[in-house]
Amino acid sequence: MTPIGAAFVALVLLVLLFVVRGALHRPAHVVLPQDASSSDVSDASLDDSAVGRIAVRPDTVQSAIATLERPARYSRAITIERYYSGGSGVDRSSVSVDGAWMRVDTEQASGAQSHTISNGERTWVWYGGSELYYESAAAFTADEEQGIPTYEDILRLDKKRIAAADYRLLDTVDCIFVETAADDGGYIERYWVSVSNGLLCAAEKLQGEDVVYRMAGMSVDSGNVAEDAFTLPDGTVLHEGALDGANR
């Protein structure tokens, strides 16, 4: 064998040796490190089904709101702002609800105070610090007495009037947002319904670009109602039952 041939054979044998050694030491499979970025998905990229929510659009928002439940027992503060030509006024209400029983204490912009208790069948009303109260068979809902749009008003909206609907964060409250198209008078209505407790926590009414009405009741104390909430000014206790805060 010539020297060149011998060198070629030696080179081939050397290559084969490295291949065999590499095969003997190669792991059975390759383990890649877990890609941390694959689990770092922003909330904005999650669709409604991924977080277990009902998809909210103008054509589905009423069904989504209908699934929400309100706490049977709660208290909260409500602020109502009304704007008119030349000024504005603010009413502040303290609201207590226990099942069918509801009490609203309101201080109007004028400074006048009113107190109302209702059980859904009868109503008791008195003013200021007077012990004189009036009783009637008239009934109202908590929303009606607070002077805010009712839960049912949103459900009764003509679907054609709903211009926008989605999930939105209002302050720190996760809400279902609804906005209507302008009516014949040019008024647009906006609603924010809390996802966690089903209560209407904010609303606005606009005429063009001008806000004419604004309601806010962001903070809700579920399950907490004062012991004397349903007591008349003369000391008569109308209701003293307690609920555990479970939903109706």
Tens digits of per-residue pLDDT, 98-135? 999 999 999 999 999 999 999 989 999 999 999 999 99
**pTM exceeding 0.75:** no
Which two three-digit tokens encode residue 4? 């060149």
Nearest CA to 119 among 138, 146, 147, 105? Answer: 138
Give dist(CA 20, CA 18) in Å, integer: 6
Contact (Cβ atoms closer than 8 angstroms) between residue 127 and residue 115: yes
Q: What is the per-residue DSSP string for 88-132?
A: EEEEEEEEEEETTEEEEEEE-TTS-EEEEEE-SS-EEEEETT-S-
Give dist(CA 147, CA 98) in Å, integer: 19
- Number of neighbours of residue 97 by Cβ within 10 angstroms: 23
Contact (Cβ atoms closer than 8 angstroms) between residue 176 and residue 195: yes
What is the structure's pLDDT at 70? Answer: 87
- pLDDT, one tens digit per residue, over 37-85 is 333 323 433 345 434 678 899 999 999 999 998 899 999 999 999 998 8
What is the structure's pLDDT at 63? Answer: 93
What is the structure's pLDDT at 73? Answer: 94
Structural domains in the chain plus CATH codes: 54-222 (2.50.20.10)
- pLDDT, one tens digit per residue, over 195-218 is 999 999 999 999 998 999 999 999
Mean pLDDT, the chain, as a whole number?
Answer: 79
- Number of neighbours of residue 161 by Cβ within 10 angstroms: 15
Give dist(CA 185, CA 210) in Å, integer: 13
Convert 214-224 to b/e letters by CB count within 10 Å (16 or more is b): bbbbbebebbe
First-to-last alpha carbon distance for the chain, in angstroms, is 100
Give dist(CA 239, CA 248) in Å, integer: 18
